[in-house]
Structure 1
Amino acid sequence: MVTHTLVFHFSDEMSEADRAQFFREGSALVLASGLADSYRHWPHVPLHDDVGAEVAPVFVPSAMARITCRDLGTMRELFAHPPLLEFVRHWQSRFPYQAVSVNTEE
């Protein structure tokens, strides 16, 4: 199994309702593709002190998502899935966001 973990940074202009829609649509699309075994997301829980600013001053996360696929080939298929590419273009045009990702294999 391969896990793709995404850490997102959304601008303040993206409301909580917009974020909920983003993850609702993204989850439905990824799971409907038949290529992913699971999709979960969580909001970031910030520390309200100076520790976060000192430890990770470059990137302030807003949320995290985790997608699992049976193998790397299937994950590659998912990331080339035209509806997923359109989803990214659509949301980037509405609310440009940043994402950092890491893939791990079990």
Structure 2
Amino acid sequence: MNKLNWEISKLNPPLWWQLHLGEGLIVITIVHRPNAQEPGYHASVGNGLATRGNVLSTLGQAKSWGIESAGVALKEMSNELQPENPWLLWTCLVGAIALQAIWLLLFN
């Protein structure tokens, strides 16, 4: 497995970490907020409305949660690409091939 290169803030200590997966298509962001209403490491996966978030107590937990959540999101995306009715896809494909064969036989 490739080593994950987290981008970090230049402050000492760092306040945020980011990991770009899939050439930036999925972003994991972790922000350390010790003085927030919920203190800890605020981790989020995604951008905009499709963001998943969690607050964890350690940086290691936040990184682990972010990577696991990105994996879950990729599995969900893969399942969305699978047809619900594969028999319908095969029926259409066979029908198209049959129509092409009839067209070639009748009009050539």
- TM superposition score normalised by structure 2: 0.22
Structure number with the bigger relative contact order (C-alpha 8 A, sep ≥ 6) is 1
Larger radius of gyration between Structure 1 and Structure 2: 2
